[in-house]
Amino acid sequence: MSDKASNQILREIAATIDIPDSAYEKANRRYKDLGEWFKRPESRAYPFDPHISPQGSFRLGTVHRSDEYDLDFGCRLLRGITKATHTQRQLKELIGADLEDYRRARKIENKLEEKPRCWRLPYADELTFHMDSVPSIPQDIGQRQLLREAMVKAGTADLLAEQVARFAGAITDTRSSNYEIISPTWRISNSEGYALWFESRMKLAMSLLENAALQAKAARVEDLPAWKWKSPLQLCVQILKRHRDEMFADDPDGKPISVIITTLAAQAYQGEQNLVSAMERILNDMGNYVRDKKPRVPNPVNPAEDFADKWGIADYQHLNLEGNFWTWLQQAQADFKIVTQSRDADFIAEQVRAKFGMRVDPSSLRSAVGLGAVHAVTSPKSHAIVQPPARPWRSF
């Protein structure tokens, strides 16, 4: 099949799993509403200059269609609270009290739930989602400098490392031994810095992003929210996460976590201009970025943190997390090879339904790429890998 046809097929898949712009816009309104709530003079957090920022897949523009969505945001108090003046518990309870007031004022029936690092507020209107609020304060200057040096040592450009390190924060974690006492040791987090790093990977295809900005009548790429960029990297991550979800529908606790898929995909991506080339590169190379020693999958904005830390923890061995990652990657390679090599629109639509749980109209594929009605490739309908390989492979 031609590259044009293969690319169109992947774009059809991406279109079926993407969420509408209205969902991103609703998320932005929710962030704005929360920001305005915390900025009220009556807010408990008001004296400490609260700042609300989106995090996670909504910030990165990599949300894929699901039954329920994670709407993550950070609530950072920019002044007046430090590790020397407050405990983690005091910070978290301060933010929790304002969120409880918000819940009551907005007449949200679901109760506020405390999680180890955040407060969760389940919410449902046109979309069903839960809002996770992560309390934090700015990281101290010395720690930010250490992070910058660690990123540069790991291969990050010095200017990017400096920009990313500025956003480093200290977050609360109920599992910390220092949670209830004054302590200089808080968990490091940098979701905004991670977003900047991810954007730097998307910008390897800058000409495509500039065209998107031009069509949106924006002066610069940076003037567009990331979800409007629609870069090949973002679309690949959306597709891969949806494939993962469908494959592990019966084993959600054992599935590869999104931040590992997103990080490895971004590291493997080299600025490919079309979707099929980007997917080939990512699937062929992402396994090469898993290290043999700890940290196995380093956080690019905090290289000492291991996104795959649970792979080696005894309490999680029954989930077979590392084996499941390699099994999923091999299956993804096989499935995308099948979909992009077949010339039968009905068969491709059947595979999309089986592998992604989504429907693609065969007639749209025929009209878009002139596909016929003869199977070029056959495959079982189920995800079936008997034994995961030991280390990276190539099937494209």
CB 308 within 8 A of CB 290: yes
Distance of CA 126 to the CA centre of its chain: 22
Closest alpha carbon to 5 in 357, 355, 342? 342
**CA dist 125 → 21, 23, 57, 129 (Å):** 16, 11, 20, 9
The pTM score is: 0.88
CA 177, CA 186: separation in Å to the nearest integer?
Answer: 10
Q: Taking residues 266-278, what's their average pLDDT?
A: 94
Q: Taking residues 181-203, what's their average pLDDT?
A: 95
- Mean pLDDT, the chain, rounded, equals 87
Confidence of residue 19 (pLDDT cuts 50, 70, 90): confident
Name residue 50's beta-bridge partners.
77
Chain segment 120-157, per-residue pLDDT in tens: 998 766 667 788 999 999 999 999 999 999 999 999 99
Residue 364 has pLDDT above 80, yes or no: no
Residue 9 has pLDDT above 90, yes or no: no
Q: What are the residues whose beta carbons fall under 8 Å from the beta carbon of 232, sequence distance 6 or more?
A: 205, 208, 269, 272, 273, 274, 275, 277, 278
- CB-based burial label for 386 (10 Å; 0-12, 13-18, 19+): exposed
Residue 164 has pLDDT above 80, yes or no: yes
Compare 366 and 166 and report the one with higher pLDDT.
166
Position 396 scores a pLDDT of 35
- CB-based burial label for 346 (10 Å; 0-12, 13-18, 19+): middle
CA angle 99, 197, 260 (to 5 degrees): 75
Position 145 scores a pLDDT of 97
Q: What are the residues whose beta carbons fall under 8 Å from the beta carbon of 233, sequence distance 6 or more?
A: 198, 201, 202, 205, 265, 266, 269, 278, 282
Residue 389 has pLDDT above 60, yes or no: no
Chain segment 310-349, per-residue pLDDT in tens: 999 999 999 999 999 999 999 999 999 888 887 788 888 8
Compare 218 and 231 and report the one with higher pLDDT.
231
Confidence of residue 7 (pLDDT cuts 50, 70, 90): confident
384: phi then psi, degrees, rounded to nearest 5: -140, 100
Q: Taking residues 282-309, what's their average pLDDT?
A: 97
Closest alpha carbon to 190 in 217, 226, 239, 150? 150
Residue 233 has pLDDT above 50, yes or no: yes
CB 73 within 8 A of CB 36: no
Confidence of residue 303 (pLDDT cuts 50, 70, 90): very high
Position 125 scores a pLDDT of 65
Name residue 73's beta-bridge partners.
54, 133
3-state helix, strand, coil in the chain (%, to 5): 50, 15, 35
* For the chain, percent of residues with pLDDT exceeding 90: 62
- Two structure tokens written together for 16: 């079926």
DSSP structure string for 298-351: EETTEEEEETTGGGG-GGGGGGTHHHHHHHHHHHHHHHHHHHHH--BHHHHHHH
Residues 28-47 as b/e (b if ≥16 CB within 10 A, e otherwise) read eebbeebeebbeeeebbbee
Residue 382 has pLDDT above 70, yes or no: no
- Two structure tokens written together for 244: 């993962």
* For the chain, percent of residues with pLDDT exceeding 70: 86
Position 216 scores a pLDDT of 65
Residue appearing with tokens 């043999």: 292
Position 105 scores a pLDDT of 96
Sign of CA dihedral 208, 214, 216, 218: positive
Position 206 scores a pLDDT of 77
CA 191, CA 167: separation in Å to the nearest integer?
Answer: 8
394: phi then psi, degrees, rounded to nearest 5: -140, 130
Highest mean pLDDT among 39-48, 51-60, 122-131, 216-225: 39-48
CA angle 305, 307, 309 (to 5 degrees): 85
Residue 74 has pLDDT above 90, yes or no: yes
CA 113, CA 102: separation in Å to the nearest integer?
Answer: 14
